[in-house]
Chains A and B, each alone.
Chain A
């Protein structure tokens, strides 16, 4: 055997033996992937708990909840939540969800686990860096949790941390909560940058022989483009965070204007611009929403093709759409700032560019439907979640088109209409992508299936639940019900529009939907130990490389033999083939019966 060929067969790091090197400080991309997923699961339940508090306060502003009084004697004296407490819970809900859930699990979790396997690599390009990314993310999570515990409590300026509120130490709630928030976000940025670097180099350099870019599974494409977005976006947030930290602690005035009076005190700053923060934040923020959703799109394409037994409709168009979304995502941030006093000309430009993003989004949607069209559909739970993703993406995307018009946004900005928009499309659609990915890959990762029955019940409860929660919010936004107010029950025009009853309905729906998530958690944990055993490598009859190796995969993925790739990622229902699918590592001789002439 030649040296080179043998190199290919050499595994890059030996299997660790101690518990710590195997499960804690692991450099194995699969373990790190699972660590990210577990972190996201912990975070998502915390985030959900916070949202419950938010919903309770909205509907029963004066009601006393005894446990809260014990848990948060300052934020909820005698169990009645203060308005600041409401804002703090809201801020932490958004931050935990956007950063610790939507940015970790789809990319750091599933991406880490499956990107190397799907490209036929033994690991990421830089395994130690990978470990560093995870542990920095973990530190970031801890720093965020510290914000709950410090004096003055968690920050109240929302997940977007708009100054001056976020920049003033003397603001309503004094304390270091906001500083911990910034530290957490800064750490998160660093971790994400390191992760992005790793993903990019891995995708470019470690592909198996024969695996050209245009043969990559769409999941890999989305992880790759997400990494590029992260690389270019997180640095900007990091920079903005540092400026904010300086404003808060070293007396600079980047974001704080002069002549500001807070709590009857003249603030000793001058000349800064809160709008500058908005620009920096949204330059990051809009790519960030795509960072959250792109991996979900990849999983959806992957799962739809697998269970419709059809190749992805318009694979190339899908790739170009992913690239277009990624590229355009950097030039539309102004649509979050139509109301910031920007010139109508800029608003117009941002609006047109925003509409442009609808085109690749629509291409993707049509291609998903095209993939389903005429397929021999197998309604497994991952498939249900993937279809749910498409539904939610369409609903959420349509409201985006409204918001993208400056004149319409005049009315809708900072109302519940926006809340409905981004929850459906970013929050819930991305989460459905994760549900789909987790149920789809669970047998590969853990060698057992998740329960289909529980999965179905959970799907329907959640699918109907989220529409019940976020559907009516569109109407609330039209009244127009502003977002981020702790107490609106006494406002006449809202009450006249029926807001109180609707908010009540939404809170009940939220409680039911939140309860349903414990079903998923139970399904996950139960299936880990008691689920139906998966003995096959390829239980779903899928085509990509992760299904060519045992479930769960051995430590070195391909047992030292890097596969060669012969075909695109979605060869289903090939005419004349022996089976209705051909795996990427199957050569033509393996796929087609020998012709008689041979």
Chain B
């Protein structure tokens, strides 16, 4: 039977049952990168590795796009803050440190899940833990916004607060995307499915999640030190 990599839709149930184990369902990740990625030249690319690589590459490319969004926000912040005398830097709410800790830990837990892929046990549990941290992070951010609002600082109060809300909210939206991806990965690991292989789902999500972490640290530093 053929090793289908992105096996056909559910309609093709039989095929997919059979093929699942060799698709990384059993959890044996093949080498990270086939000898020669594109079709060009490589005689015998490992199809599973290729699919995993494709999803990881897609994630990296997506990250490049997101970086440009935040680069644009950053340059707007730099320009705007130097423009008029009305810039007031935001006194960051304390709870942001909790957010930061939550997100940093979640990076560790997803890394743990990824490393366990090879053995195939505990992946789902660690992913679920990561998911939990992600949700807690959003909650913690929510308290951050509340704390500011209680001090009477709103989006339109001054350019500093505008950028604070803008950047944290934009980041939160991307975290929500990550939470969706994590949920998908959990389901994926739990139930061998049809579209994406387990390994691809977990590894791509891990890359994205680490990036979200790094992005947050960057934004925090920006908001702290650009005054």
Q: Check if A408 is an interface residue, CB within 8 A of chain B.
A: no
Q: List 27 A-B contacts (CB under 8 A).
A: A7-B2, A9-B2, A10-B2, A14-B8, A125-B54, A125-B58, A196-B65, A197-B58, A197-B61, A197-B62, A204-B37, A204-B57, A205-B38, A207-B38, A208-B39, A231-B68, A232-B65, A235-B69, A235-B71, A235-B72, A236-B72, A253-B156, A253-B159, A271-B159, A272-B80, A279-B75, A283-B72
Q: Is the CB of A236 within 8 A of B61?
A: no
Contacts of A2 in B (CB 8 A): 44
* Interface set, chain A 539-579, CB cutoff 8 A to B: 562
Q: Is the CB of A271 within 8 A of B2?
A: no
CA distance A483 to B85 in the complex (A): 35
Q: Is the CB of A254 within 8 A of B155?
A: no
Given A4-B47, A238-B69, CB of A211 within 8 Å of CB of B76: no
Q: Check if B73 is an interface residue, CB within 8 A of chain A.
A: yes
B64, B65, B84: the one contacting A271 at CB < 8 Å is B84
Instruction: Give A554 Cβ to nearest chain B Cβ, in Å.
Output: 16
Q: Is the CB of B159 within 8 A of A254?
A: yes
Q: Check if B86 is an interface residue, CB within 8 A of chain A.
A: yes
B42, B69, B73, B85: the one contacting A209 at CB < 8 Å is B42
A198, A209, A250, A252: the one contacting B159 at CB < 8 Å is A252
Contacts of A208 in B (CB 8 A): 39
Most buried by A among B12, B22, B44: B44
Given A125-B54, A205-B37, A254-B162, CB of A270 within 8 Å of CB of B84: yes
Q: Is the CB of B39 within 8 A of A211?
A: yes
Q: Is the CB of A4 within 8 A of B40?
A: no
Q: Check if A242 is an interface residue, CB within 8 A of chain B.
A: yes
CA distance A252 to B170 in the complex (A): 16
In this complex, the interface size class of chain A, counting residues with CB under 8 Å from chain B, is: 35 or more
- Chain A 173-200 interface mask (CB, 8 Å, partner B; 1/0): 0000000000000000000010011101
CA distance A197 to B3 in the complex (A): 26
Instruction: Give B22 Cβ to nearest chain A Cβ, in Å.
Output: 8
- Chain B 35-53 interface mask (CB, 8 Å, partner A; 1/0): 0011111111111001001
Mostly, the B contact residues are: helix
Contacts of B44 in A (CB 8 A): 2, 4
Chain B residue nearest in CB terms to A12? B6
Instruction: Give B97 Cβ to nearest chain A Cβ, in Å.
Output: 26
CA distance A125 to B86 in the complex (A): 48
Q: Is the CB of B86 within 8 A of A12?
A: no
Q: Check if B32 is an interface residue, CB within 8 A of chain A.
A: no
Mostly, the A contact residues are: helix
Q: Is the CB of B50 within 8 A of A205?
A: yes
* Interface set, chain B 70-114, CB cutoff 8 A to A: 70-73, 75-76, 79-80, 83-86
Chain A residue nearest in CB terms to B79? A276
**Given A12-B8, A193-B65, A211-B39, 16 new contacts (CB under 8 A):** A3-B22, A8-B47, A13-B9, A197-B65, A204-B38, A206-B39, A213-B40, A235-B65, A235-B66, A235-B67, A236-B71, A240-B72, A253-B162, A254-B159, A258-B84, A270-B86
CA distance A250 to B157 in the complex (A): 10
Instruction: Give B103 Cβ to nearest chain A Cβ, in Å.
Output: 22
CA distance A12 to B3 in the complex (A): 11
Instruction: Give A346 Cβ to nearest chain B Cβ, in Å.
Output: 14
Instruction: Give B166 Cβ to nearest chain A Cβ, in Å.
Output: 7
Q: Check if A6 is an interface residue, CB within 8 A of chain B.
A: yes
Instruction: Give A236 Cβ to nearest chain B Cβ, in Å.
Output: 4
Contacts of B41 in A (CB 8 A): 209-210, 212
Instruction: Give B152 Cβ to nearest chain A Cβ, in Å.
Output: 14
CA distance A231 to B86 in the complex (A): 34
Q: Is the CB of B38 within 8 A of A252?
A: no
Q: Is the CB of A200 within 8 A of B61?
A: yes
CA distance A200 to B8 in the complex (A): 23
Q: Is the CB of B2 within 8 A of A6?
A: yes
Contacts of B166 in A (CB 8 A): 242-243, 246
A193, A211, A231, A250: the one contacting B156 at CB < 8 Å is A250
A6, A236, A273: the one contacting B80 at CB < 8 Å is A273
10 nearest A-B pairs in the assembled complex, by CB-CB distance: A271-B84, A251-B156, A235-B68, A239-B72, A207-B39, A235-B69, A207-B38, A236-B72, A6-B2, A252-B162
Q: Check if B4 is an interface residue, CB within 8 A of chain A.
A: yes
Q: Check if A126 is an interface residue, CB within 8 A of chain B.
A: yes
Contacts of A213 in B (CB 8 A): 38, 40
* Interface set, chain A 226-275, CB cutoff 8 A to B: 231-236, 238-240, 242-243, 246, 250-254, 258, 270-273
Q: Is the CB of B80 within 8 A of A205?
A: no
Q: Is the CB of A271 within 8 A of B83?
A: yes
Q: Check if A119 is an interface residue, CB within 8 A of chain B.
A: yes
Contacts of A211 in B (CB 8 A): 38-40
